[in-house]
Amino acid sequence: MSQANADASKQMMKALLWAGIEGYCPLWQALWEVNAVLPDVSEQDRWEATRQLVQSLVARGAIQLLWYMPLDGEKSARVVERADAQPLISQAESWVVRPWEQETVGYVTTDKGEALYRSLFDTAP
């Protein structure tokens, strides 16, 4: 991996983890976060990069995928088990902006993810 790709991957990871630290982050917002890091990449390549990173973060336990109603937030959240995450992440429909009163797929950053986020700022060798 080139240094530029490694830097972009690190910036993408920081952006996605931070979005989930701030609160529930719908998958469509994750695409917007990555757009800020990779503005010159095609929409398809950006979606693929985001999808792969979300899948990796779920597998590592750094983020927790969930279904929720944006207007209700925590009150309506239903956890998506890791075994069920891959199909949801792979479906283009999961990444579509939905009205606020409709259930959407999103994520939150876990304690493990917050530790990973902090480590991304470590400059020690």
What is the distance between the alpha carbons of residues 105 and 11, in angstroms, rounded to a whole number?
Answer: 23
State residue 118's pLDDT score.
95
Between 3-22 and 43-59, two packed helices, what is the crossing angle to 10 degrees? Answer: 70
Instruction: Enumerate residue ranges in the chain where pLDDT < 70.
Output: 1-2, 4, 73, 123-125
Give the burial string for 49-65 (b: 16+ CB within 10 Å, else e): bbbebbbebbeeebbbb
What is the distance between the alpha carbons of residues 123 and 66, in angstroms, rounded to a whole number?
Answer: 33
State residue 71's pLDDT score.
73
State residue 70's pLDDT score.
82
Full-prediction pTM beyond 0.85? yes
Largest CA distance in the chain: 47
